[in-house]
Structure 1
Amino acid sequence: MDSVLATLVQMFDGTSVLVAAYDQFDRLRYANPAFRAAFFLADDETPLWSDIMRRNHGAGRGSVIRAEDFEAWLVSTQSRRGKSGFRAYETDLVDGRWLWMTESVRGDGWMLCIASDITGMRAEDRAVRQDRDFAVKASYTDELTGVANRRFVTERIEEMLRRPPSRAGGLGCVALLDIDHFKPVNDGHGHQAGDLILRDFARRIAAMVRRSDCFGRMGGDEFLLVLPRTSIEQAALVVERMLAVVRTARPVPDRGDVAYTFSAGLAEGRAGDTVAGLYARADKALYSAKMSGRNRIYCEGPEPERPAIAQQPRLYPNN
């Protein structure tokens, strides 16, 4: 086996095709010389994909990113990156090259990326295909927050329920997240303040999502986290860390006293489950979390409540 692996590495190192592998945390674990040259990586570097993109964008090299707000583009892209088993798309580099990129993702979140140079293809054909790719991206993206939308998240739940269960985590879980006392934001301070909170929440949660998981906005102030092959106990620990991070948020500029929290309802996938059935159980658990005082997690099942560590701050303080 070692000799086969060594042969494969030699083949990858000697080809002009770009080859790279990322782990479940999106950290680069292998890249051949062609990939490292295209994205300006030293031989011994193993950075996160987000750091590769951020560094090259700042230096005006690497991938062409057509976005005025790079960080918003990063959140949007990461909400879909590596969330399905296979994806193929075209991308261009600042140096003028055009690449056909494929991403193959294992169940544990490791991803193999292979790219071929297709610069010689007709420019007008590339433009048509790129317009198609942009349209597909838009159809899966929530316009306000930039994370995945209901359609994309629903498809990830369907995939989770079709896969064979793991020994440790079963089919997996969903966590329905809802911002506490959100209505007073729009009623008392206008939609702009509410939009700032929604974007801040989406950005903070998206930054904590694992490669194998999916996070998106279902509508209004309701978001959904899909955690394949994750037990409900493990899922609760993940969401508890998110609760702690969100409690520190101060999303409104010049209003450092504005804070917010969220509540979460967790449900575990079962054999024969449907998207609607699983979502309904998570929604029921979320309702219990709200009725129990908010700023906490409520799991379906015989051990219902996982209370939050800290007391809930008011969304808007008394003036």
Structure 2
Amino acid sequence: MQTLSVVLVEDEPGDAGLIRYGLKFSGGEHDVDWVTSLEALGTQLQAMTAAPDVILLDLNLLDSSGLDTISRCKAIATETPIVVLTGHDDMDFSLKALEAGAQDYLIKKGVEADALLRAMRYAMERHQLEQRLKESEERMTAAIEGGGLGIWEWNLKTDACYTNERLRKNVGFDAEDETAPQTLSAWMARTHPDDTDAVDEALKRHVKGEEKRYEIEYRLKHKQGHWVWVFESGHVVDRDSNGHPERMVGILQDISSRKEMEEQLRTLAMRDPLTGLFNRRSFMETMDSEYGRVKRHDDYHASILMLDIDHFKQVNDTYGHAAGDEILKHFARTISHTLRENDVFGRLGGEEFAILLPDTEREGSAYVAEKVRAAIAAMRVQAEGKAIRITTSVGMATLSANDKRPDGALARADAALYHAKQNGRNRVEQAESPTDASTAHA
């Protein structure tokens, strides 16, 4: 495993000790330098022969506090990914930390070695993609300014559209290919149906003088049948004596690789890298939307299941973290195969998972919970030459319009999960709804 160079910026010795202890037992070798302020971070970076792989950053330091700490850290360490260490278990605050420039964040309380290591590697991967995307955009801008791209010229009176060899090659037409479109209308016919209206509107707004320049990203159909993402820019260069536009010129660039990187970044932001499930942030956003439906419609019901793997620490200690990761992936796949297409399955952290069941009342969620429990009980994972058997405990709750926040149901399901474990594990427990609970205590 690669040795990571880590700089820990933390002014609380106790918290710093826990993080360093966690890194020591995360399954890899790490060079950890500990500093207590941003000023000390600058000094440390100057003394290092190479930039560290990652910075673990506490937001409240001797010489800085809050989100400003992130921007100041980025100014000091421009080429290093940042993982924020925070005591705020708050989705809005976490999103603000990411918007400020951090690549990931971790809640300090109860942070585990595995989660810490995954966060660092995730931050490094996301930082690399961001850098590649930034470089791609800079190259695209330079190419546009230099004019070394696909070129087109459109005669608005005849609809004839000249295109150079590079532009035609971008969508699969050879230099002498007579089947290549010769008019703008023919090119528009190759535009993706979902993008046609936007391209047409952008052209009209520029031709009418409402926009100084015509610029748009859209998909063109390649001669071989697949779709190619392109960036197109142009402007009117000739008008008649009455001011009516006669000719437009522009450039076109294939941006498929950039779009692919953007999609990878979106996936990294939404998905747990190990299992491919929704991460905590994405799951809570989806749950918030479902809570809104419950609030708006009296006859609409939704349920939440909380799950974790029974005795998972013992499995890790017995078979190792690699086997533990394999079990987590099998766990995710097995449950995914039991769910409906519109059910939402997420990994909240460690061995803790949650399932959102839209348009599902208690009876339906009880059926799904038992189906999930049974599927895991029947699952076997081959590791270290043995067939490992695991079980899961499940807590159930329904979303309620009486909840002030959508995570009220999550808290009830978590409490039910705790009871399932207390009552022997490998079982399903159902939480009372807020209405039931208030009636019982009346």
* TM-score bin, normalised by smaller chain: 0.5 to 0.7
**Equivalent residue number for residue 34 of structure 1:** none
- Paired residue type of 1:182: F
The structure-2 alpha-carbon separation of the partners of 1:293 and 1:136, relative to structure 1 and needing over 3 Å to count, comes to same
Query: How far did 1:207 drift?
Result: 1.4
How far is the alpha carbon of 1:300 from its aligned partner? Answer: 0.8
Answering whether residue 424 of structure 2 is matched by residue 293 of structure 1, we say yes
User: Hey, what's the Cα distance between the residues in 2 that align with 1:160 and 1:120?
Assistant: 33
2-structure distance, mates of 1:200, 1:124: 39
How high is the TM-score relative to the length of structure 2?
Answer: 0.41
Q: Is the 8 A contact 2:393 2:427 kept in 1?
A: yes
Say whether the 8 Å CA contact 2:307–2:353 is kept in structure 1.
Answer: yes
Indicate the SS of the match to 1:267: strand
Partner of 1:204: 334
Q: Answer yes or no: is 1:127 the counterpart of 2:292.
A: no
- 1:260 aligns with 390
Q: Is the 8 A contact 1:261 1:295 kept in 2?
A: yes
Q: Which residue of 2 aligns with 1:178?
A: 308
Amino acid of the structure 1 residue aligned with 2:363: E
The DSSP-based 3-state class of the residue aligned with 1:258 is: strand
Report what 2:351 is aligned to: 221
Counterpart Cα distance in 2 of 1:134 and 1:100:
24
Task: Measure, in 2, the Cα distance between the counterparts of 1:183 and 1:239.
Answer: 23
Change in Cα spacing, 1:194 to 1:101, as seen in structure 2 (3 Å) is: farther
The unaligned stretches of length 5 or more in structure 2 are 1-170, 173-189, 196-218, 222-226, 231-251, 438-442
1:243 aligns with 2:373: yes
- Secondary structure of the equivalent of 1:217? strand
Q: Give the alignment's TM-score, normalised by structure 1.
A: 0.55
Mapped to 1, the partners of 2:334 and 2:421 lie a distance apart of 21
Q: Is the 8 A contact 1:266 1:299 kept in 2?
A: yes
- Deviation (angstroms), 1:257: 4.1
Say if 1:171 and 1:228, in contact at 8 Å, map to a contact too.
yes
- Match for 1:293: what amino acid? G
Indicate the percent of aligned positions where both proteins have the same amino acid.
36
Native 8 Å contact 2:302 2:359 kept in 1: yes
* Partners of 2:229 and 2:254 within 8 A in 1: no
> 1:254 and 1:130, CA in 2 relative to 1: closer, same or farther beyond 3 A?
closer
Secondary structure of 2:288's counterpart equals: helix
- 1:279 matched to 2:410? The reply is yes
Tell me the equivalent position of 2:134: none
Displacement of 1:161: 0.4
Match for 1:289: what amino acid? A
State the match for 2:318 in structure 1.
188
Residues 319 and 384 in structure 2, CA contact (< 8 A), matched pair in contact too: no
With a CA cutoff of 8 Å and minimum separation of 6, indicate the structure with the bigger relative contact order: 1
Confirm or deny: 8 A CA contact 2:397 2:430 kept in the other structure.
Answer: yes
Question: Would the alpha carbon gap of residues 257 and 120 (structure 1) be closer, same or farther in structure 2, given more than 3 Å must change?
Answer: closer
